[in-house]
Amino acid sequence: MSKLYLVPTPIGNLEDITYRAVHVLKEVDVILAEDTRTTRILLKLYQITTRVQSYHIFNEHRKTDEIAGRILAGETIALVSDAGTPSISDPGFMLVRACLEKGIPVECLPGPTALIPALVNSGFPSDKFCFEGFLPHKKGRRTRLIGLAAETRTIILYESPHRIIKTLKELEQVMGGGRKCSVSRELTKIHEETVRGTFAELIAHFTSQAPRGEMVVVVEALSQKTTAKDTAWTPVYADFNRGCLKSSFFSQRRKDAKK
Ligand code: SAM
């Protein structure tokens, strides 16, 4: 029976692809790619001659039902993104959902993604973590940051070099100066680097050396032993956004602190 495959591709080092990924990409009828030029470089290296079509955030709404219909009609299709695992901060979710609704089998191959090596490199507990993807640039950003301050699992964020210093400063404002953080950049590439320290140390690092390349930010969780009483949250939040003092989350923390 025809099906949809999601095939992870390298996040930098082109050798990071599985034998099965290459086999599936050779065997399917069509490969859907975010940027067909980027994907063709990989396909050429592995002598994959399968037809490539584009599927990206600007056409996924329009094309999703049509593609699910084609799979129902007998085509087997593989979805790839420019790098890493499709559907992880990349197109994919809508197509998976549409296929499942139509009873089409979906299979995601295991493979490269940036969040896992960054989490492991950080040295923070990896038994429980939350992946937040990219923070919103404007609307909802402060609310998300404040929610993250209370997170008791290790936090993983995707970030660009242009915004890293701003994000680290905001994280420090909501979480306080004591929290540790790790930034992994250019994973699997020649200039791969993981920098660990307090927010202030990381801000100093990226101020002295211009941040370059793609980045994953991993933030230490709020210690479960820490009570609202002995955190410095009140001034931290107040400085960050006075309006947030009214949020139900914050009033609950203040009630807890009085107990
Ligand atoms: N689908 C990808 C995955 O599975 O990780 C993520 C795609 S998302 C559009 C791109 C973001 O992933 C970058 O902004 C960066 O945060 C992270 N990323 C991708 N490749 C990376 C790399 N080689 N080193 C560090 N971060 C990377």
Domain boundary assignment for the chain:
4-108, 115-247
Average pLDDT of span 13-38: 98
CA distance 209 to 202: 10
Class of domain 115-247: alpha beta
CA distance 68 to 82: 21
Mean pLDDT lowest for which of 17-31, 57-71, 151-165, 218-232? 218-232
Q: What is the pLDDT of residue 98?
A: 98
**Is residue 159 within 6 Å of ligand 1 at its C-beta?**
yes
Name the average pLDDT for the chain: 90
**What single-letter amino acid sits at 149?**
A
Indicate if the pLDDT at residue 249 is higher than 90: no
- Ligand 1 center from residue 166 Cα (angstroms): 19
The model's confidence at residue 61, banded by pLDDT at 50, 70 and 90, is very high
**Is residue 167 within 6 Å of ligand 1 at its C-beta?**
no
**Is residue 90 within 6 Å of ligand 1 at its C-beta?**
yes
| Helix (H) or strand (E) run with residue 44 in it | helix 36-45
Read off the pLDDT of residues 109-163 as tens digits, 9 standing for 90 and up: 999 999 999 999 999 999 999 999 999 999 999 999 999 999 999 999 999 999 9
CATH topology of domain 4-108: Cobalt-precorrin-4 Transmethylase; domain 1 (3.40.1010)
The model's confidence at residue 259, banded by pLDDT at 50, 70 and 90, is very low
Residue nearest ligand 1's atom 20 by CA: 11
The model's confidence at residue 45, banded by pLDDT at 50, 70 and 90, is very high
Average pLDDT of span 193-203: 98
Which of 158, 183, 194, 217 has most ligand 1 atoms within 8 Å of CB, for mutation?
Answer: 158
**Is residue 34 within 6 Å of ligand 1 at its C-beta?**
no
Indicate if the pLDDT at residue 256 is higher than 90: no
Residue nearest ligand 1's atom 2 by CA: 84
Q: Which two tokens stand for residue 177?
A: 């100066």
The model's confidence at residue 224, banded by pLDDT at 50, 70 and 90, is confident
CA distance 22 to 45: 10
Which residues are CB-contacts of 221 (< 8 A; sequence separation ≥ 6)? 124, 125, 128, 151, 152, 153, 154, 155
Which residues are CB-contacts of 146 (< 8 A; sequence separation ≥ 6)? 174, 237, 240, 241, 244, 247, 249, 250
Indicate if the pLDDT at residue 253 is higher than 80: no
For residue 115, the ligand 1 atom closest to its alpha carbon is 5
Indicate if the pLDDT at residue 234 is higher than 80: no
- Ligand 1 center from residue 214 Cα (angstroms): 6
